[in-house]
Amino acid sequence: MTNTQHFPSELLTAPIADRIAYFENCTIKHAMLEDVSKQTEQALYGHASPKVIMLAGPTGVGKTTLASTLYRRISKQFEEQMNNERDFMPILQVNAIAPTAASFSWKDFYVRILERAREPLIDRKVTAPHQLSLFPDERQNVVSDRAVADTLRRAVELCLLRRRTRYLIIDEAHHILMVNNPKRLEFQFEALKSLAIETKATIVLVGTYRLLDIRDQSGQLVRRSEIIHFPRYDHRKQKEKVGFVQALNTLAGRLPLSEFPDLQANADEFYIRSVGCVGILKDWLSRAYARHLELNNKLFNWDFIQGFAQPVKALETITAEALLGEEKVRDKPIADLMNLLHFGVPPEGEKKPKKRGTVVGKRLPVRDPVGEAYASA
Ligand SMILES: Nc1ncnc2c1ncn2[C@@H]1O[C@H](COP(=O)(O)OP(=O)(O)O)[C@@H](O)[C@H]1O
Ligand SMILES: [Mg+2]
């Protein structure tokens, strides 16, 4: 295991703000990230047909960081062509913003894509229907939300085609699933899928495990999409336990300190209070490191760092969500599929609970009336 420091030595005499910024902005390689990166790249380059890739994992595991790395890597790959053809944009990255109203706003989403693609005159994309000039009627003057979204959508399709965009990364994509009517869930995914087909781009949805709810909606959708799991480190698995300690040491080596801090001695505590998520660990160390410098604290050790961990309640919520998500990702035994194919028997746990049978003539258990009310009846 490497216990070495990796930062430019001049940082040790640099202003505090520079040292803090260095650590905050550094990105480390670690086993799980490498593994998921490889899977994602295989999914991106593996097929020619347009499709939707879902990158799902718990909060703070490093999904956004991975998406940004991919963005930079792909931009670099096409650098020469981008310099020669100024309108060429091989990759776009947008955020799906949480809805402020009841449901996700496609309008806002399309505008964000157009802005990212530096499309001119976005506010002029929505034109009133032709009939308005012929029949100036008050009621028709209102351009419906649906019509605006449809027009913007066509503008996005044209824009991505013109810019020859191959990959569209949508971060926080679970927000797209925030709809007031669960029946609309399938529609939300269909809209993305047809965007991929019309524009011939591959769409990468990055988000929490809530993304997987889509998959359970329909077999049609599963066929068109690929799910990539970005899990936290699970210390019940020896290999992952080692991977986490290595990530902890790598982060420790990036802290501009005169001596390498021995964090490994408290690896178990770091694991528990970061839930095995490297991003949560990194943010926690960042907070502690900033205070360490500002307070001119002597030792950067567990005793000092532990005070900057997230509250247990918050960590508990993240853990519960992660465990549920991991359960959703886990595949089923093949016997379940065989039972379904051979006998049409739904797998255990999905059977409807049987109604308890009643014996004819036997009274159902009810409470007999007692007390005064009964006596006076
Ligand atoms: N490999 C990494 N190296 C350094 N910092 C990381 C790494 N992965 C995540 N982080 C940091 O952890 C925090 C949370 O990561 P983020 O990518 O936003 O997680 P997610 O999108 O899964 O919630 C961010 O501050 C990010 O900079
Ligand atoms: Mg994120």
Average pLDDT estimate for 138-149: 60
Question: In the prediction, which pLDDT does 123 show?
Answer: 61
Average pLDDT estimate for 338-349: 70
**pLDDT classification of 144: cutoffs 50, 70, 90:** low
Question: In the prediction, which pLDDT does 321 show?
Answer: 93
Looking at per-residue confidence, does 273 or 141 come out higher? 273
Asked whether residue 145 carries a pLDDT value surpassing 60, the answer given is: yes
Question: In the prediction, which pLDDT does 371 show?
Answer: 60
**pLDDT classification of 165: cutoffs 50, 70, 90:** very high
Number of the ligand closest to the Cα of 58: 1
Separation of 60 CA from ligand 1 center, angstroms? 6
**Strand-by-strand arrangement of the 225-229 sheet:** 91-95, 167-171, 202-207, 52-56, 225-229
Question: In the prediction, which pLDDT does 355 show?
Answer: 55
Question: In the prediction, which pLDDT does 241 show?
Answer: 96
d(CA 188, CA 96): 13
Alpha-carbon torsion angle 66, 68, 70, 73, nearest 10: -130
Which tens digits make up the pLDDT trace of 52-64? 899 999 999 999 9
Question: In the prediction, which pLDDT does 251 show?
Answer: 97
Stretch (H or E) spanning 20:
helix 16-25
Task: Answer whether 210 contacts ligand 1 (Cβ < 6 A).
Answer: no
Measured by CA distance, the residue closest to atom 14 of ligand 1 is 279
Measured by CA distance, the residue closest to atom 13 of ligand 1 is 279
Task: Answer whether 65 contacts ligand 1 (Cβ < 6 A).
Answer: yes
Measured by CA distance, the residue closest to atom 4 of ligand 1 is 27
Question: In the prediction, which pLDDT does 15 show?
Answer: 94
Measured by CA distance, the residue closest to atom 24 of ligand 1 is 279
Average pLDDT estimate for 183-209: 86
Contact 184, 103 (CB under 8 A): yes
Measured by CA distance, the residue closest to atom 3 of ligand 1 is 27
Helix (H, G, I), strand (E, B) or coil at 203: strand
Question: In the prediction, which pLDDT does 181 show?
Answer: 77
pTM of the model: 0.83
The CATH number given to 31-229 is: 3.40.50.300
Q: Which tokens sit at 60?
A: 């703070």
Task: Answer whether 40 contacts ligand 1 (Cβ < 6 A).
Answer: no
Task: Answer whether 33 contacts ligand 1 (Cβ < 6 A).
Answer: yes
Query: Cα-flanking dihedrals φ and ψ of residue 352, to 5°?
Result: -70, 140
The residues facing 225 across adjacent strands are: 52
Contact 316, 70 (CB under 8 A): no
Question: In the prediction, which pLDDT does 207 show?
Answer: 95
Which of 61, 65, 244, 246 to mutate to test ligand 1, by most ligand atoms within 8 A of the CB atom? 65
**pLDDT classification of 350: cutoffs 50, 70, 90:** low
Looking at per-residue confidence, does 369 or 270 come out higher? 270
Helix (H, G, I), strand (E, B) or coil at 342: helix
Which tens digits make up the pLDDT trace of 64-103? 999 999 999 999 999 999 889 888 999 999 999 888 877 8
Task: Answer whether 278 contacts ligand 1 (Cβ < 6 A).
Answer: yes
Asked whether residue 290 carries a pLDDT value surpassing 70, the answer given is: yes
**pLDDT classification of 188: cutoffs 50, 70, 90:** confident
